Structure 1
Amino acid sequence: MAKRAGDQDRSESGGPSDGQATPAPTWKAAWPFLVALGVVAIAAIGIGISYLIRPADDRMSTEAHIQHAVNDAYTARNELDYTRYREATCAAELASDTFPDKDTFVEQNRVSFEENGQIVIPEIADITVNGDRATAQVHWHFDETPDSEQVTDVVVVREDGDWKVCTS
């Protein structure tokens, strides 16, 4: 039998050479993919439920808690928020004679803000944790003087499960 142009012998195309059609795929062939998809879906649902049930604070590392405590203290100064500042400060500091009252706190920080702008913290580094006590180096500067960055060693202590800024 002569071949026409464009015709191809089945054996050359990789298909069966006896003219039989390739069988249609069955559900059995898809089974491994369906199982893998089910495992991935169950894992994703489990992670989602874990994030919904477990509070964000519980998922944060100790270093992140310390960074938040330092940030809260400086943010309270920027916002002249005495209540928030007290909440971010350790009990020993609150009980000291040198801890400012509300009027003094607001006045000192208002003057600083008017002269220098807000406090900006680009980095909190070198966090060292020793039980319920930690130290961190806070790199900061004022809005008005970004080139005069300062580094302050800050002590942070854990009280009743929360990290608080302390002077010693």
Structure 2
Amino acid sequence: MAKRADDQGRSESGGRSDDQMTPAPSWKAAWPFLVALGLVVVAAVGISISYLIRPADDRMSTEAHIQHAVNDVYTARNELDYTRYREATCAAELASDSFPDEDTFVEQNRVSFEENGQIVIPEISEIDVNGDRATAQVHWHFDETPDSEQVTDVVVVREDGDWKVCTS
């Protein structure tokens, strides 16, 4: 039996082809995808809420806190900010007879800045934490002399939950 051109798309039994017989998808087939989407949304909302409730300082690692303490001291020197410098320095250092007063601090750092430029810290490495005490190597140079990098060992201690730079 030969097929005519107008019979294309019909099977020999006269019904529809397989493409035309597939049923429309039901909502039951979509449930696994909807449940997975719901779980992803709940997880994303939970993570977002935890970031909003928990301060950024609590989410940082101990090493990051130490790096911030070291950066605070050097930034205070660059900005001639005595208050910030004091806040980033440990209590033993503040009580020391050799700790500079504000005028001395500003004058020493202004002279250094005028002669050499700002202090730049490209790296803080070899952070070794032992309880509430840590050491780190600060790689630094002056703006005006980037090729003469120096490495300074720095002691950092935790006081009242905050890391502070100390000389020993």
Aligned pairs (5 A) from 1:130-141: 130-141=130-141
Structure-2 change in CA distance of 1:67 and 1:20 (3 Å): closer
Task: Tell me the secondary structure at the aligned position of residue 47 of structure 2.
Answer: helix
Distance 1:20 1:91 in 2: 82
Q: Percent identity?
A: 87
Cα RMSD, aligned residues only: 1.9
Write the distance in 1 (CA, Å) between the matches of 2:119 and 2:11: 78
Q: 2-side partners of 1:95 and 1:155: how far apart?
A: 16
**Given the superposition, is the C-alpha separation of residues 3 and 86 from structure 1 closer, same or farther in structure 2, using an over 3 Å criterion?**
same
Report the count of equivalent residues. 163
Extract unaligned runs of 5+ from structure 2. Answer: none
- Distance in 2 (CA, whole Å) between partners of 1:133 and 1:10 is 84
Aligned equivalent of 1:161: 161
2:33 aligned with 1:33, yes or no? yes
Q: Moved runs in structure 1, 4+ residues, more than 3 A?
A: 3-11
C-alpha change, 1:91 and 1:10, in structure 2 (3 Å) is farther
Aligned counterparts of 1:98 and 1:4: Cα–Cα separation in 2: 107
Q: Give yes or no for the alignment of 1:24 onto 2:24.
A: yes
| 1:88 aligned residue | 88
Structure 1 gaps of 5+ residues are: none
The corresponding residue for 1:42 is 42
Residue 9 of structure 1 deviates from its aligned partner by 7.2
1:76 aligns with 2:76: yes
Amino acid corresponding to residue 33 of structure 1 in structure 2 = F
For 1:151, the aligned partner's letter is V
State the TM-score, normalizing by the size of structure 1: 0.91
Q: What is the CA–CA distance in structure 2 between the aligned matches of 1:5 and 1:127, rounded to whole Å? A: 82
Deviation at 1:3, TM superposition (A): 3.3
Q: 1:145 maps to which residue?
A: 145
Length-normalised TM-score, structure 2: 0.91
